[in-house]
Amino acid sequence: MTEQREELRDTQVIVDLDKIEENMKLISRMAGTEISVMAVIKANGYGHGAVSIAPTLMKCGVKYLAVATLTEALELREIFPSYPLFILGYTPDRLLHHVVEKNITQTVFSLEQAQLLGSLAKGLNKPARVHIKVDTGFHRLGKEPSAAYADEICKICAVEHVEVEGIFSHLALVNEEENEKQYQTFCNFIEVLEHRGCEFKYKHIADSIATVDYPRYRMNMVRPGALIYGMRGFHIGFLPVQQALTFRTAIAQLHTVPKGEGVSYDYLWKASRDSIVATLPFGYADGYPRNLRDKGYVIVNGIKAPIVGVICMDQCMADVTDVPNVAVGMEAIIYGNGQDGSMTIEEAAKLAGTNKNDIIARIPARPPRKYISKNRF
């Protein structure tokens, strides 16, 4: 008999692992057998729970699980002792020993770091694996293509005990003209390096959007992130990915609020009629955008219930006057797939004046994750 884990909070993030698997299979099929996939699960798997979704992605055969920081990589390494992990961001010199000790592939863009990695690798009698970052105009990490950087990369490739496995860049995604300029700059620089004897197993520049919209930018590796979770940022191509996340809660208390009375801080919302107002046990500390006051809504018993008054840290209120048979404990859908009228991640992003990744990545660990799958439950 399977033990049922007690649910300690009504506010939960429900993650559909089957949808993540389906999305990943769509991406891999689109990329083709000649292109490797680096699945980006930084920021706790874009709010979905990196450790819990990793086995699904591994089952789909992704080449790498990619994160942004050493701490994210070490969390995964503790659970998955041998699966290839990649750090997309910068790791300070004092912490590079962890990278070598734990067999994590590291982004580098300086000879000094490569030499330090080589020295550490020699001491541990194992290789240090790296990908070199090239700045083609994004101006975040890496160095701009130049004769000096080409010289430096050639020296990096010659460092003992360092395996230069790949080279990569990132698109700013300004427009097609700028994208093409960055891509050509990257390709031309790689050609210079290869002509000088440098070899790169993997070359990559395409994120989720570029992977769908610009097939030739896929090179021989792609880095989907948001796409895995069903976030559709593409504009030219199309892939029928599905949102994998549902955010839900339950009504904690009901209030009868007479016409003219206010709700929450500063009484910025006042009832225009005799109303029933529900207290919902989630707030901005659960990642819900505070600026969705008087714009956001939840779905209760199939009815749209507007969020009213200032959103608190741990709670917020919704006008449920029009919800039939409303009762304490009734489910309220915060984010859903939209088919039941619920607010999608895309709609939440538009109302909050941000992007979809911000909405899902800002959901902290506080709301417990519940994973559903026909293969597991």
Which residues are tagged catalytic? Answer: 42, 265
Q: Which residue has the tokens 């796409």?
A: 227
Would the annotation count 140 as a binding residue? yes
Residue 58 annotated as lining a ligand binding site: no
Contact partners, residue 158, CB within 8 Å, separation at least 6: none
How far, in Å, CA of 303 to CA of 300, rounded? 5
How wide is the angle at C-alpha 346 spanned by C-alphas 344 and 352, nearest 5°?
100
CA within 13 Å, CB half, 98: 17
Q: Which helix (H) or strand (E) holds 179?
A: helix 176-195
CA distance 326 to 272: 20
Query: What is the signed CA dihedral for 57, 221, 169, 242, rounded to 10 degrees?
Result: -40
Using an 8 Å Cβ cutoff, are 239 and 227 in contact? yes
Torsion, CA 356, CA 362, CA 366, CA 370, rounded to 10: 20
What residues are designated binding site for substrate? 140, 313
